[in-house]
Amino acid sequence: MTTRTDSDRLDPTIESREDLLRPFVKGEKPKADWRIGTEHEKFVYRVSDHRAPSYDEPGGIRDLLLGLTEFGWRPVEEGGKVIALSGPDGTVSLEPAGQLELSGAPLEHLHQTCAEAGRHLDQVKTVGDRLGLGFLGLGMWPDKRREDLPIMPKGRYEIMLRHMPRVGTLGLDMMLRTCTIQVNLDYASEADMAQKFRVGLALQPLATALFASSPFTEGKPNGFLSYRSHIWSDTDPARTGMLPFVFEDGFGYERYIDYALDVPMYFVFRDGRYIDVAGHSFRDFLRGELSALPGEKPLLSDWNDHLSTAFPEVRLKSFLEMRGADGGRWSRICALPALWVGLLYDQTALDAAWDEVKHWTLEERQSLRDTVPRLALDAAVPGGETLKQLGERILDIAEAGLNARAAHNAAGDNESGFLDTLREIVARGASPAQILLDRYHGDWKGKVDPIYDEMSF
């Protein structure tokens, strides 16, 4: 989730609808300036007993953040506590229960992306070894109850933790017990954004299937392959989902603004603290009618904050966020951006991917989204195929897109090799979660503890 690293003091007030358009228009970039921003989360645990460490305890989350400053990271504080780090590789931040996230820098090609992930993991493992901490790459805690988990000292999380039970039954699990990998990508124009949004949204279930790695809850199989994906179906219907309007004729920035204005607010950030306005309307804020800030009009930063509190499968800010994947190991951190860069950053590949999904109806897209958390690659797609069969063609399209980019490393390799992990998954027809379940029912003998040895970084 977004971490504030700036002040609101010099931010302009929103005076018109044109100001609401500004983040989206500002995001338009020529193709030569398109970049790749990869975000990945991992669970932090005590090696000695697999417990999730608290923020304040010796050798806990605070000490982990402070330890990372030896690599040049700069502390970001809230309320006198270090809650994030900033540096050349982006931002290191905390999810609500101490999940550690790298929001990577905007990079030119996937070789840089994978090197960035490698640097980050080397750094956290160096500090973690000293503190007795390990790092787990999965979509959901395999064994922890909500009450087993600490809460990080971030104001926006306090507000969200109060609000989530009012609007769904699984929002607290989303906040406390899940991890993801996502990639942020650019667009050239409103029309380019719309096509990428449609392709990305239609194919998010494929990403969910390929990266599914959350089959356990509190030490037992939960009946899902991506329980993390299922959690989003009962988190908050006002801010999640497949956004049917994206596929309507004329979709563009204005329609997304209308959607975002209808997403209830969580908070307003003022003078270094978060003010609870949960459930109120941003439209009321535009009229100066927020009871917590009577007569005050929103700043541009308030709008940017608000855009970060919508959680659809694809999210628009000044870039597009692909949000459907579970967390996973290092090779998957490199593979997710490879999939989406291959599909979305080459026009021939983008058109080919759109041809695969453009005929799907609203009901068919929703049915696929509803079934993929349980079935992963066995989920049926329109036309009688499975996601596995579609996935083979989509990976071919992504590979062609990466080949066309011709971004080579020093050894002369292009970016298509980063898809190998996904090709292996499709070839065996089993998601990572299915492999874990086989181990659980086999040599793990009905226990999940061995997962810490096999799925840690």
- Report how far residue 337's alpha carbon sits from residue 36's, in angstroms, rounded to the nearest whole number: 7
State the DSSP string of 252-280: SHHHHHHHHHHSPP-EEEETTEEEE-TT-
DSSP secondary structure of 194-232? HHHHHHHHHHHHHHHHHH--B-EETTEE-S-SBHHHHHH
Cβ atoms 139, 327 nearer than 8 A: yes
Q: What is the pLDDT of residue 279?
A: 86
456: left (phi over 0), alpha (psi -120 to 50) or beta: beta
3-state secondary structure of 236: coil
pLDDT at 11: 86
């040599």: which residue's tokens? 443
pLDDT in tens, the chain (457 residues): 566 555 555 689 999 999 999 999 999 999 999 999 999 999 999 999 999 999 999 999 999 999 999 999 999 999 999 999 999 999 999 999 999 999 999 999 999 999 999 999 999 999 999 999 999 999 999 999 999 999 999 999 999 999 999 999 999 999 999 999 999 999 999 999 999 999 999 999 999 999 999 999 999 999 999 999 999 999 999 999 999 999 999 999 999 999 999 999 999 999 889 999 998 999 999 999 999 999 999 999 999 999 999 999 999 999 999 999 999 999 999 999 999 999 999 999 999 999 999 999 999 999 999 999 999 999 999 999 999 999 999 999 999 999 999 999 999 999 999 999 999 999 999 999 999 999 999 999 999 999 999 999 9
Tokens of 164: 């989530």
pLDDT at position 3: 63
Cβ atoms of residues 201 and 246 within 8 Å: yes
DSSP assigned state of 429: T
CA–CA separation, 24 and 318 (whole Å): 5
Closest to 257 measured CA to CA, from 269, 245, 248, 268: 245
Inter-residue contact 92 to 5 (CB < 8 Å)? no
Tokens of 229: 């994906």
Domain residue spans of the chain = 17-454
Q: What is the pTM of this model?
A: 0.97
Classified by CATH at the fold level, domain 17-454 comes out as Creatine Kinase; Chain A, domain 2 (3.30.590)
Cα three-residue angle 260-263-269, rounded to 5 degrees? 90
Provide the pairing of β-strand 240-241 with 311-312: parallel
Rounded-to-integer distance, Cα 285 and Cα 290, Å = 5
Question: Do 314 and 200 form a contact (C-beta atoms < 8 A)?
Answer: yes
Give the span between the Cα atoms of 349 and 355, in whole angstroms: 10
Identify which of 160, 192, 131, 93 has the alpha carbon closest to the alpha carbon of residue 311. 160
100 token code pair: 């550690």
**Look-up of token digits 């061995």:** 450
Other C-beta atoms closer than 10 Å to the C-beta of 294 total: 8
Closest CA to 173 of 208, 225, 218: 218
